[in-house]
Amino acid sequence: MEKTLPYGWYTDPENLRQEQERILLPAWHYVGHTGQLAEPGYFVTEVAHTPVVVTRDRYGALRGFVNVCRHRGHVVASGEGSRETLQCPYHAWTYGLDGRLRKAPRSEEEPDFPQDELGLVPVAVDRWGPFVFASAGPDPEPLAQALGSLPAQVAELGLDVDSLIHHSRWEAEIAANWKIVSENFLECYHCQVAHPAFSELVDTSPEAYVLSTDGHLSTQHGPLRTVTPADELPRAQFHFLWPNLGINIFPGRPNLSIGPIVPLAPDRTYRFLDYFFGPDVEPRWIDDLLAFDDQVGEEDRVLVEGVQRGIASGRLDHGVLMSHSEQLIAHFQSLTAAALGR
C-alpha cells in the first residue's frame, strides 16, 4: 500500500517556506477575471506572497506588475477600479497602466532623475477566456502550456468559457494545511459517507466515477444520476491543476467555478471561488447550485480541519492511500515531493 506524505510536511513552517519557493512561486495562479477589468482598469491580488496589480489599458492590453512602489516600497494600488494611472498613496508617485513612472513630485529638482528606470517591475499575466492568471516566478512557462488539456476537456463537455458571466465570489479561511485541502478535493472516496446530497445528484460509485491524470492535471468525471432534457451538461467535471487550482463544473446548466487553495500558515488556508454561469441560466437554478455547493463546502471544511487536528497530534508518521480511489492523491504527492527534491 502506498503511503501518504510524512505528516511532518503538513505542520512544519520550514516545509511551507520551501513549498512557497519551489512550488507556488514558479506556478501560474488564477487571480480574477476580465469582468473586473474595465478598459482602462486594474485589480490587485497576491500570488506566492507577492503583491500583484493586473491592468488593462484602453486598447485592451493585459499586463501585470509587482504592486510595490519603486520609491520606498509602499504598496501602490488597492482594490480594483477603472482609471488610467496608479498612484502610490505615500508620496504620490504615479505610474501608467503600462507600469511606466509618469510623475514623481519634485523629481525635476533631482539631478539626473532616472525616471525611465523606475517603472513597476513586470510579472507574467495571461488569460484563458475570461479567467486571468499571473505568475510571479522567473521565466514561467507559457500559460497555454501550463493549462495542458484543461481547455480542451472543458470544451469537449460542451461548455464555452467565453460565454460565461461572473456571478459571485465565495471566500473562506480553513484551519488546515493547503495540501490536506487539495487532497480532499482529489478524492470522492469520502463522498458517499460525507456528502449525501452530492451523491444523490452525481453517481459517485467506483464504476461510474472516473479518475484520470494528464501531466499536472487531475480530473474527476461523474455522471448525473437522472438526466432531464434541460440538462445541457450531462456530467460533472472536477479538475485540479497542480499545485493548487480547483475547477468545478456541475452537471445541468452552463456553470463553472474556479479558484486557488492558498497557504497562509502550515495550518491555515485561504480559498476563494469565482462562480460563472451561462447568460441564460435561471436565477433559481443558480441559487440552488450555490446553496448546494455551500453545503458540500461546509461538509469538507469539517473533514479537513479534523484531519489537521489528527495529524498535528504528532502521534502518527504517515497514513496510507487506497490504490484506485485515491490515485489522484498519489499523483499530487509525487509531483509535490519531486518539486521539493525529495
From 59-67, 229-237, 295-303, 313-321, span contacting Fe ion (CB under 5 A): 295-303
* Gap between the Cα atoms of 105 and 92, Å rounded: 7
Name the residue nearer to ligand FES (CB basis): 74 or 342: 74
From ligand FES, Fe ion, none, interface partner of 300 (C-beta below 5 to 8 A by class): Fe ion
From ligand FES, Fe ion, none, interface partner of 3 (C-beta below 5 to 8 A by class): none
Cell readout for 67 is 504592486
Residue list 138-167, contact with ligand FES (CB under 6 A): none
Residue among 294, 295, 305, 296 nearest 191 (CA): 296
Name the residue nearer to ligand FES (CB basis): 113 or 292: 113
From Fe ion, ligand FES, none, interface partner of 88 (C-beta below 5 to 8 A by class): ligand FES
> DSSP for 225-252?
SS--TT-SB-EEEEEEETTTEEEEE-SB
Contact status: 93 vs ligand FES (CB under 6 A): yes
Contact between 223 and 208 under an 8 Å Cβ cutoff? The reply is yes
For residue 328, count CB atoms less than 10 angstroms from its CB and return exposed for 0-12, middle for 13-18, buried for 19 or more: buried
Residue list 36-75, contact with ligand FES (CB under 6 A): 69, 71-74
Residue among 179, 208, 213, 202 nearest 249 (CA): 202
Nearest approach, Cβ of residue 73 and ligand FES (Å)? 6
Name the residue nearer to ligand FES (CB basis): 83 or 309: 83
Residue among 60, 55, 51 nearest 100 (CA): 55
Name the residue nearer to Fe ion (CB basis): 19 or 187: 187
* Gap between the Cα atoms of 159 and 148, Å rounded: 17
Secondary element (H or E) of residue 47: strand 41-47
Nearest approach, Cβ of residue 93 and ligand FES (Å)? 4
Binds Fe ion by CB under 5 A, chosen from 267, 274, 300, 326: 300
* Gap between the Cα atoms of 260 and 274, Å rounded: 10
Name the residue nearer to Fe ion (CB basis): 12 or 203: 203
Residue among 114, 127, 147, 135 nearest 65 (CA): 135
Q: Tell me how far CA of residue 73 lies from CA of 67, 90, 208, in angstroms.
A: 9, 9, 54
**Number of residues near ligand FES (by CB under 6 A):** 9
From 6-14, 129-137, 219-227, 299-307, span contacting Fe ion (CB under 5 A): 299-307
Nearest approach, Cβ of residue 300 and Fe ion (Å)? 4
Residue among 96, 85, 89 nearest 118 (CA): 96
Name the residue nearer to ligand FES (CB basis): 93 or 185: 93
Residue list 72-91, contact with ligand FES (CB under 6 A): 72-74, 88, 90-91
Name the residue nearer to Fe ion (CB basis): 202 or 281: 202
Residues that bind Fe ion (CB under 5 A): 300
Residues that bind ligand FES (CB under 6 A): 69, 71-74, 88, 90-91, 93
